[in-house]
Amino acid sequence: MTETLLHVAIGLGLAAAAGFRVFVPLFGLSLAAVTGTVSVADPLSWLATTPALIALGTATLAEVAAYYLPWFDHLLDTVATPAAVIAGVLATGAVVTDLPPVVRWAIAIIGGGGVAGLFQGATVLLRLKSTATTGGFANPVVATVEWIGAAIIAALAILLPLVAIVALAWLAIKVFRGAGRLVFGRRNAARTFDGST
């Protein structure tokens, strides 16, 4: 049971990283599978091959570079959002190896896809705010934080899955508070308890 929970934690951590960059966690998972650090389920055993490692490494470099092109980052978000969900499902399904297929894919689709979608949505909102407030000049900074964050989260998920889950819970609270402020505006800090505003 403990090992199953660790595998689920690895999968959810990789799924969250997919919300920041689609290919970074898949490349990290492939690297971990090729080196024997993580085992992957049979239908996705191709992740543990050298050709997959090379292909995912190339895709990772191309994705990271593409987000530095002005205005192209927003175009990528339209493709990256569904791709992040798919990557989250694949990453979670690949590492949850000791459960029946129906349970494994339910966890992968609901947990992995959901986590990836939530974090991807937050990054889209952050980039929209960056574009609106700086005319897109701060977007390269956002892109850098995103891919570095994806790499750190993926590495933590593989090497220290329980630490990754705690870090992701904290990050989720911060991200969604920030997204709430972006969508609904700041609360009035000057509000008093005597009924005046």
Of 153, 118, 169, which Cα lies nearest the Cα of 29? 153
Q: What integer pLDDT is reported at residue 36 of this predicted model?
A: 92
* pLDDT tens string 136-184: 788 888 889 999 999 999 999 999 998 988 988 888 787 667 666 656 6
Q: For residues 60, 82, 140 and 180, what is the CA-based torsion angle, rounded to 10 degrees?
A: -140
- The 8-class DSSP code of residue 109 comes to I
* Block residue for tokens 């590492």: 95
Full-model pTM:
0.83
Nearest to 62 by CA among 31, 24, 88: 24
- The distance from CA 23 to its chain's CA centroid, rounded to whole angstroms, is 10
Q: Where exactly are the structural domains of the chain?
A: 2-177
| Separation of alpha carbons 82 and 107, rounded Å | 18
Per-residue pLDDT reduced to its tens digit, 96-108:
988 898 999 999 9
